[in-house]
Amino acid sequence: MNPSYSVVYITASDSAEAEKIARALVEGGLVACANMAPITSIYQWEGNVKKDEEVVLLCKTLTERVDDVVARVRQLHSYEMPCITHWPLGGGSGVYMRWVGEQTRKT
């Protein structure tokens, strides 16, 4: 059976927090790669519309590792309710996808 892959989308308060999370996930073998980019978020919180500058992480991993990624992010994140979502990857470069699998396979 072919492995399945997912992207985990995480927002962080700033680049320092995003890098801390990304490094922990990569060093822990939970994700193969984490891309970081600044974003502006507009959202409702406690009855008010908020606007904040944040950093988004796009992390590639095996689908079987998603629950482990979510648990680790919750340990590291400063937010009371961090944005952590995920979706399946429908495809990609075969060489790249094999690399993602090699980096994140449970040992």
Residue 104 has phi, psi (to 5 degrees) of: -115, 0
**Model pLDDT for residues 29-88, shown as the tens digit of each residue:** 999 999 999 999 999 999 999 999 999 999 999 999 999 999 999 999 999 999 999 999
| pTM attached to this predicted model | 0.94
DSSP string covering the chain: ----EEEEEEEESSHHHHHHHHHHHHHTTS-SEEEEEEEEEEEEETTEEEEEEEEEEEEEEEGGGHHHHHHHHHHH--SSS--EEEEE-----HHHHHHHHHHH---
Locate 105 and state its tokens. Answer: 């396979």
**Using CA atoms, how far apart are residues 91 and 97, in angstroms rounded to an integer?**
8
CATH architecture of the domain formed by 5-104: 2-Layer Sandwich (3.30)
pLDDT at 57: 98
pLDDT at 91: 84
Question: 107 pLDDT exceeds 80?
Answer: no
